[in-house]
Amino acid sequence: MSTAAIALPAVRRAAGTMRLPGSKSISNRTLLLAALARGTTEVRSLLQADDTRVMLEALRALGVGVESHEGHYRITGIGGAKGFPVKAAKLFLGNAGTAFRPLTAALALADGRYELSGVPRMHERPIGDLVTALRQAGANIDYRGHDGFPPLVIDARSPRESSVVRVRGDVSSQFLSALLLAFPWSGAGVRIEVEGELISKPYVELTLGLIEQFGVTVGREGWRAFTIAPGSSYASPGVVDVEGDASSASYFLAAGVLGGGPLRVEGVGSTSRQGDVHFADVLRAMGGRVTTGAHAMEAAGSLPLAPFDLDMNLIPDAAMTAAVLALFATGPCRLRNIASWRVKETDRIAAMAAELRKFGATVEEGADFIAVTPPPGFLAPRSATPAPVSVDTYDDHRMAMCFSLASFGPVPVVINDPGCVAKTFPDYFAQFAKLVS
Ligand SMILES: O=C(O)C1=C[C@@H](OP(=O)(O)O)[C@@H](O)[C@H](O)C1
Ligand SMILES: C=C(OP(=O)(O)O)C(=O)O
């Protein structure tokens, strides 16, 4: 169900401090690892949003012990067991890639019958490369709708000795992350070979770092192959503090640059493995001033912004923020190597192009790039009664969040269905309103 549109007031200034919500990627990885580990894990500062809610509900439905108290969670792992306590379940996973892909891998190595489905868009997001890889390890997975896409039915794994699994890495890094997360739990040794150029590499580093925190070291040959020793198993580290979400930080850091600053985000900084902390470099390339402490970042700047032409493959989520910033640049900007945008919450290349054009930008799109020539006059002062631009959000939280930055321009902005931010940042618009004027 869609939510009532928000009319954003014209803003000029952005300054202040905000605490970031927990990282989506770390939250869902930690929940699954805690569920698979021996022992109890206390998870602090977990992201409270749709993507983590579906993961928590799925784990509960599978019989994993989940207790919550004042925003902290205690997960009692299933440890040495090679299956989940509940042997048959239907799991609804919304549009959460970080729940759907890793749970598919874990359940494919288990011993029950599970049906996994999501929202209609999730049923258009590819999963075939992961299923193909898991079948090499004896997984019994059937497609309920179209081949290569959810929904899926997973039955108990057939024992198979093959210890090499090949997975394509050029559609989503989540397939490789899913295999890396699940195999140590199965206890079977495996060598995972990556075919094609792996995209979104920092997310795999994040996976490896968290696996290590749960006591398993993965052997690796660069980005081409990863090995998990037979007899591996996860052990709870006791407590995990989830750091702030670096992708969510991108909107506020960008606001700090557009609106003077200083705007400080707390919860993520230079100690983070999240690739999107490097969005700071993109802001610097556009003329912004960004400083990075161990667990906080601060941005300041002024208009106009310098044009950019950048490969965004390592930061596909924060890259959407950069695309909207192109409206404020003094010349054409180009975002390259972003083919994965086409298979995310919506076709983000098409959606971004359509909405930027509403502001008068000239946009060229290709299979894996978007080029934006800013609209003439976008940096001019607001005229007396400009007509508002109504932004469609395509049930994509990032479309809603990044287009809030257009309110620094010369026209009023209306964001349609702003409630879609619930996927990763339910109170985004309230936080944004507190920091801009
Ligand atoms: O592993 C993860 O946590 C994620 C990986 C990325 O997806 P792709 O690997 O499909 O680019 C990213 O866009 C997504 O928001 C989260
Ligand atoms: C691509 C995204 O989500 P998912 O984890 O569902 O892939 C995203 O949050 O931008």
| Domain regions of the chain by residue span | 5-21+244-435, 24-226
Counting ligands in written order, the one closest to the CA of 424 is 2
**Alpha-carbon span 244 to 265, nearest angstrom:** 9
E strand segments, 242-332: 260-266, 289-292, 296-300, 309-311
Does the domain at 5-21+244-435 match CATH 3.65.10.10? Answer given as yes
**Alpha-carbon span 187 to 246, nearest angstrom:** 33
- Confirm whether 276 is a catalytic residue: no
Query: DSSP assignment, residue 326?
Result: G
How far is CA 385 from its chain centroid? 38
Asked if 5-21+244-435 and 24-226 have one fold, the answer is yes
Alpha helices in 187-223 (DSSP H): 201-213
Count helices and strands (H / E) in the chain. Answer: 12, 23
Q: Can you tell me whether residue 142 is helix, strand or coil? A: strand
> Within 10 Å of residue 366's Cβ, how many Cβ atoms?
11
What's the CATH number of domain 24-226, 3.90.1420.10, 1.10.10.60, 3.65.10.10, 3.50.50.60? 3.65.10.10
* CA–centroid distance, residue 325 to ligand 2 (Å): 20
Going residue by residue through the chain (437 aa), what tens digit of pLDDT does each one get? 799 999 998 899 999 999 999 999 999 999 999 999 999 999 999 999 999 999 999 999 999 999 998 879 999 999 977 799 999 999 999 999 999 999 999 999 999 999 999 999 999 999 999 999 999 999 999 999 999 999 999 999 987 766 999 999 999 999 999 999 999 999 889 999 999 999 999 999 999 999 999 999 999 999 999 999 999 999 999 999 999 999 999 999 999 999 999 999 999 999 999 999 999 999 999 999 999 999 999 999 999 999 999 999 999 999 999 999 999 999 999 999 999 999 999 999 999 999 999 999 999 999 999 999 999 988 887 777 788 999 999 999 999 999 999 999 999 999 999 999 999 999 999 999 999 99
> Within 10 Å of residue 344's Cβ, how many Cβ atoms?
21
Q: Say whether 25 counts as a known binding-site residue.
A: yes
Question: Atom 16 (ligand 1): residue with closest C-alpha?
Answer: 25
Task: Give the number of the atom of ligand 2 that is nearest the alpha carbon of residue 174.
Answer: 7
Cis preceding-peptide flag for 307 (omega within 30 of 0): no
